[in-house]
Structure formats: C-alpha cells, structure tokens
Structure 1
C-alpha cells in the first residue's frame, strides 16, 4: 500500500478543510439557534414515538387478516416512529418559519428534515434484502452516503478514499473502488433476488411444469442473475476482470481440491433435479429416516418426519445410496398386516371378515380391494396376511396400520373369532422327597408347554 503519498496528503488536507469550514458555519449565532431547535424537535419526536408506539403495536396485532408482508412493514414503521415524527415536525417547523422569517433562518432545520426523511425511506426500502447482516451494512452505508451528499462532503470524501489504494502491476484498487463495487453489486444482487422471487412465484403456480423442473429453473435463474449482478457491478466501477483470470483460475483449482464434497453435493443436486427421481412432496425412506421432502436445496434435501424433525440429507447420499420413494411414479402404497386365528375358526370366514374390516378404514383404497391369504399353519394359530393399499403415505404408515388392527379386533370380537397365543401349564407333582432332616420336601413343579 502506498503510505503518505502526495495524493493522500492533499486529499486528507482537503477533507479537513471542508470539515473545519463546516464546523465554523455551524458555530454562527443564527445556526446555533437552529441546532437548539433541532435538539428540541428530536426530544419531542422521541416522546411522541414512546406514546404512540404501544397503540400502534396493538392496532397491528388486531389486523388478523393482513398478509405477513404488510405486517412486517408495519413493524418496521413502528421501530422508526422517531424518525417519522422528527421529519414531520421538522417540515412543519420549516414551513411555518419560511412564512414568518427569512428562508436562511430555517436552512439547517430543512437539511435535518431532508436527511431524516431519506433515512426513513431507506429503512423501508432495504427490507427487500432478506439477509440481516447484509441489510444492516446496506442501511448504514446508504445513511452515511445520503448524509454526506446533502451536507456537500461527497467530493472530498471520495478523493480521500481514492487516495488509499493497492497496486498490483497495472491494476490499481482503491478504497473508493471497493466501496463503489460493493454498493453497485449489492443493489444489483438485491434486484436479482427480487426478480428471482417473482419468477419463482410465477413458476410455483404453473401446473404445466413439474415440481422438479420448477426448482431446477429457479436455481439456474438465481445462479445466472447473481453472476450477472456481480460481474456487471465490478465492470460498472471500471474494474478490469481480465487481469484476475489467472489468479481466479488458481484459486478455483485450490477450492476444487478442498471442497470436493461441496462440489459433489452441488452436482448431485443438479442430477436429482434432472432425472426427477425425487421432488418436493415425495415420501421417502433413507436409512432410519422416513418423511416427506420439504425442499430441494443446492447442497442438501430437507426431509420432515412425522414427529416434526427436519433432516438435512446431503444430495450425494440420495444419488449414491438406496432410497425408497413411496410416491415416485404414483401415490399407491401397499401395506401388509400379519395376524393369526384359532384352528377352530373357518379360514374362509376369517378372510371375509378381515377384508370387510379393512374396508371400514377411510384411508384404505376402495378401488383396490384388500386381499387376505393364509401364509402357514403355525404352532398355535393359522397365520394370515392382510394386504391393502393407500394413496397418502405422507399421512403416516403406523397410524393407518393401527386403525386397521383396531378394525380387525372389533370385527373378530363381534363374530367370535379368537386370536390364540402361546400358553404354558404348570403341574404340581405330589412326590415325597426324603431329606436329611426327616421332613417332606415341597412338591416339585413340572413345566409342560401346550396350547
């Protein structure tokens, strides 16, 4: 970095001269009266905001039918009531003073009103930036720039920032260039985000496009828009990107080796979207995780289980591992229930009763009639399997199995069908066993298994 160059010294002296002149003009008697008026208006505005804020907040809470975006805007206004009241009181004061005295007597109050109004509207406009940290940086940067612009400090501050620079061969990057690049790129990225949200919302309502293609189109659009925003932002401030080609290539190779897993997940995400193996709303099982797909991300897939847990599964695991997609080609899912009945019960009647019982459950498909077959003759029972179909696996599997089991229990009780279970008999043998004390030992039990 260049240290104490003539350009830096001249820029610093010019900036200090502007600051000194500004402070001297603020100390003039008729300016001091205006400063005192500004302080008084600020105090009144703060008091008015403290009084109005509880009522305004209560009014917002009573707006139950309002969309979330409008309610968030109301909360932003509530947090900036002080600025709103100050700007309102300052403009009223300026209008009154210009009717009764010279305009110069209210010039400083008018400047404060303009700056405060700009601050207020900047606070509303930056809400389009969803990232909280980035939103704060943009807010404070815009506030500082607006303040410098209205008090006439943009030129000396720009010259001072431009004098602080780094030189790499033919490339010169000054602090002013960095600030301009960040500001222009930030604005373009915010615009790209708004456009991406708009297009994504329109795609979500288009039933002619599959869910996977909607997600893929939205992701590709975001990548293109953000890349164009960054490149255009850097080119807009005059930064030559050709000189960074070799450097960016070397950095890219290093990142490629260090971020293999990340790149693998990104590529796997594109593959998932292209082959349409899974899509939002599908019910899948991977390992011990069973749930429905909430979102397809660039690096992971969000799977929500029945107990409300959200698992973030890397895309690579879904491409290379075994995944059960319960709703890949269609929503039909077959479930099997195994049970047994006594040998005294007629198997034909048992099958009919089981099928009719399953049909009483609402989630069981009536179009595909359940079937019940004998699977074997066990030690204690005749074994059966009851098979039925459902179309809403996202509603859970355990609960529908439980409902069918309860229907079987009620139907078997009603028709006198018994469900046997293994039993054990205990027989007491009155055998006398001589012991050394000459007393009889207690009977020795004999365990006999049976039905």
Structure 2
C-alpha cells in the first residue's frame, strides 16, 4: 500500500473515537452547506439575468460544477489551516472525493458544451464517471500503484519503438483531454465571433471554421509531443492523404474548397432565398462540405457545395438583403380598375413587413384574361428568411375585405354554352 494512503487510514482509525473526527465531520458538513447555499444563490442570479453572458458561459452547468468545485477549495483551505492542530485524515479523504467529482462534472460540462446531446454522449459520460471513481477507489484503497505496475509490465514492440500498455493509456488520455480542451476553447471563440455584428456573416463562418481547424491541429501536435510520438512521421501520413485525395477523396476535397470559395466571394449568405436545380428555399446553414436549404414547407435539403459552383443558382435576395414578393390577383371587367389598383397599393404599404419606402410597393396590369383583368401587387420585404406564405395570406385576406367594402368583384370562370339544332332535326320534347 502507498505510504501516504497508509498514513491517511491510520489517522482516520486513530481519530475515529475522538473529538477530532467529530470536528472534521462538522467542518465537512459546514463546507457542504455553505457551498450548497452559494450554488443556489448563484443559480438564482443567473436565472434572473443579473450575471453577464460571458460569466454565465464560463460557468456553464453551474448547478453541477460550482458546488463540488467550491466545496473542494474550501476543504483544502480548511485542511491546511487545521493540520497543525489536529489530524485531518477525513478532510484529506473528503477533498479527494470532491476532486473526483470536480473532474467528472468538468468533463461532462465540456462534452455537453462541445457536442450536441445524444445517446452516445450520455453513455460516454457514464463511462468517464465510472472510470474516475474506479481510479479513486484504487487510489484510496492502496491498489493503484500495483495496478499501474501490472499495466507497465505488459510490453510490446511496434517497429523500433518499445511500448507498454500504461504508456498507451496515458497517451490516449492525453490526446483526448487535449482535444476536448481545444474544442472547448474554439467553441467559446466561435460563439463570440458569431455574436459579433461588425463582421460579415460569411467571414464569421470562415473564421469559425479556421479557428476550429487550427485548434484541432495544435491540440493534436501538442498531445503527440507530450506522448513522445515523433511528429516527423506525419509527413508519411500527409503523403498518403495526398494520394487518397487525388483518387478516392477528390469529391470531398472539392466540396470543402467550394465551400470556402462561396463564403469568400460572398455570392451566398445565410438567410438568402435561392433556387438551386428544382429546390427553392432559404439558406439556413453554410458548412464546409454542404449547404442546408430550408424549403417553404419546412423540409431541409442538403446540397453539396460543389453543386453550387457548377450549377446555376438563382438568388432571389438582393445585395441589400431584401426580396420582392409578387401577389397576383384578378378583378372583373365591370369593376373600377383605378380604385382596385389604389386599394392594392394601400394594402401592400400597410403590411408590417413591407419596407417603408415609396418604391417598395408596386401594382401593375399583367394582362386581360378570359374572365377578368390580371393585376399583380409586388411588395419588398427586408426579412426574406421569414418566408412569404404567411405574408401572402394576410394580404389576400385584407384584399378580400377591402374589395367587398368597395364593390370590387373577384371573378370566377364563366362559359356560355350555345346549342345549335341540326337542320331538319325535330327538337326533343
């Protein structure tokens, strides 16, 4: 058994029937109570909106992380303050248990912050929790060093490199922790960049993708250096990757390059209304490999970036991020055309989404149809990403009410049927 753990259990056994154990239990209980009250107060402050966004983002899952962290700090302070007066075996044991809880909840917070909630994420969190508690149990029981020695004795050779199972586990753990920290930091930077209104939306997406790529590369290189892997061996991997890109991965590489071209030349923006092939909808997301197009019926279409480079793309949104929405209507030949056009212009200008500009509403005569005069009301809106179905429905309803009040008739198809009797035929009775 480890010498430090041996002394710890001896102190706990000696103090078990003394007042020192009682005082330590009282200190632990007081610290847990104070941490719980502080956690509750801070949670209420966050819910009330009295904590700024950055502080709230850093704390994240405050109700799960702040409690063990604050209790651990206070317990460590109490331990070093009281160790000159009494045995502090219980305080040392409690500090190690709280440290394990801090590690588990910190990793869970980072995972939930970086990745979207899913079944595999919850399973991974449980695996991490059990792993940490098993290590803590081995540590406080004194069996951790023998287990580590057994893992170190399992040796094998890869090429000219001699490895053991302990080194592989340490290397894997180092890489995972470094990558999680890098993804967490890049996620924080991404949120700040995407919230900035002073940067163009396309450049924000480019910067977010570059930050994530740089963070992953740096984390990978650092973790490999810490583990002791020769970084020069990546040149072999780079050559193999280049050959793979030249043959089997050329489509994937083409989509990635096309994505950066689209973002940099500002031909498309998030929220634009576009037509690509037979798909018409709103650009919801611009990603490295594909674009997500949300159609007006709510369905989403994933379109590879290469398609938007090679095919014709119709952008219905102007450079000033506004769109023209046509609303066709037909009136009868007996209705007053001047009154109908004036009413349509008033209705279009009165809608809340219409741009308040003299040229934002227009009414034209399209044609003289079989049943009536075809008119078209056109309105310009500043928020095309909100869609047009609801706007058209509201304007049509207003047109129906105003036309009824002003005796403007909306015709329906009519047909004149003439029956010509054949010569010499006797009409039927």
The TM-score with structure 1 as length reference comes to 0.68
What is the match of residue 128 of structure 1?
A: 110
**C-alpha deviation, 1:364, in angstroms:** 2.5
CA contact under 8 A between 2:97 and 2:136: conserved in structure 1?
Answer: no
CA contact under 8 A between 2:364 and 2:377: conserved in structure 1?
Answer: yes
CA contact under 8 A between 1:60 and 1:71: conserved in structure 2?
Answer: no
Q: Distance in 2 between matches of 1:399 and 1:207?
A: 28
Structure 2 matches for 1:80-99, cutoff 5 A? none
The Cα offsets for residues 320-347 of structure 1, whole Å up to 9 and x where unpaired, read as 4444433351223222222222222343
Distance 1:319 1:152, change over 3 A: farther
What is the match of residue 8 of structure 1?
A: none
What is the match of residue 405 of structure 2?
A: 414
**C-alpha deviation, 1:229, in angstroms:** 0.8
Structure 2 matches for 1:23-172, cutoff 5 A? 63=47, 65=49, 73-76=61-64, 103=87, 107=89, 109-110=90-91, 112-126=93-107, 127-129=109-111, 130-131=114-115, 132=121, 156-172=146-162
Select the residue among 270, 274, 281 that pairs with 2:271. Answer: 281
Partner of 2:221, secondary structure, is helix
- Farther off after superposition, 63-72 or 362-371: 63-72
What is the match of residue 423 of structure 2?
A: none
Q: Distance in 2 between matches of 1:269 and 1:286?
A: 15
What is the match of residue 424 of structure 2?
A: none
What is the match of residue 392 of structure 1?
A: 383
- Farther off after superposition, 402-411 or 124-133: 124-133
Q: Distance in 2 between matches of 1:362 and 1:269?
A: 36
Q: Distance in 2 between matches of 1:27 and 1:333?
A: 75
The Cα offsets for residues 167-205 of structure 1, whole Å up to 9 and x where unpaired, read as 233123332222222232233223322332333233234
What is the match of residue 378 of structure 1?
A: 369
**Mapped pair 1:271 → 2:261:** yes
Select the residue among 176, 187, 196 that pairs with 2:177. Answer: 187
CA contact under 8 A between 2:65 and 2:106: conserved in structure 1?
Answer: no
CA contact under 8 A between 2:326 and 2:376: conserved in structure 1?
Answer: yes
Partner of 1:372, secondary structure, is strand
What is the match of residue 12 of structure 1?
A: none
What is the match of residue 203 of structure 1?
A: 193
Structure 2 matches for 1:189-338, cutoff 5 A? 189-243=179-233, 245-246=235-236, 249-250=239-240, 253-254=243-244, 257-286=247-276, 291-304=281-294, 311-327=301-317, 329-338=319-328
CA contact under 8 A between 1:162 and 1:174: conserved in structure 2?
Answer: yes
Q: Distance in 1 between matches of 2:275 and 2:215?
A: 35
What is the match of residue 359 of structure 2?
A: 368
CA contact under 8 A between 1:342 and 1:381: conserved in structure 2?
Answer: yes
- Farther off after superposition, 153-162 or 234-243: 153-162
Distance 1:335 1:252, change over 3 A: same
The TM-score with structure 2 as length reference comes to 0.71
The Cα offsets for residues 393-438 of structure 1, whole Å up to 9 and x where unpaired, read as 1222122222222232223222222222223568999xxxxxxxxx
Select the residue among 339, 344, 369 that pairs with 2:334. Answer: 344
Partner of 1:113, secondary structure, is helix
Q: Distance in 1 between matches of 2:4 and 2:346?
A: 92
Distance 1:136 1:219, change over 3 A: farther
**Mapped pair 1:177 → 2:161:** no
Q: Distance in 2 between matches of 1:165 and 1:201?
A: 45
CA contact under 8 A between 2:282 and 2:385: conserved in structure 1?
Answer: yes
Q: Which runs of 5+ in 2 are unaligned?
A: 116-120, 421-426
CA contact under 8 A between 2:361 and 2:380: conserved in structure 1?
Answer: yes
Q: Which runs of 5+ in 1 are unaligned?
A: 1-17, 430-440, 445-451
Q: Distance in 1 between matches of 2:337 and 2:245?
A: 68
Distance 1:112 1:194, change over 3 A: same
Distance 1:118 1:368, change over 3 A: same
CA contact under 8 A between 1:371 and 1:387: conserved in structure 2?
Answer: yes
CA contact under 8 A between 1:90 and 1:113: conserved in structure 2?
Answer: no
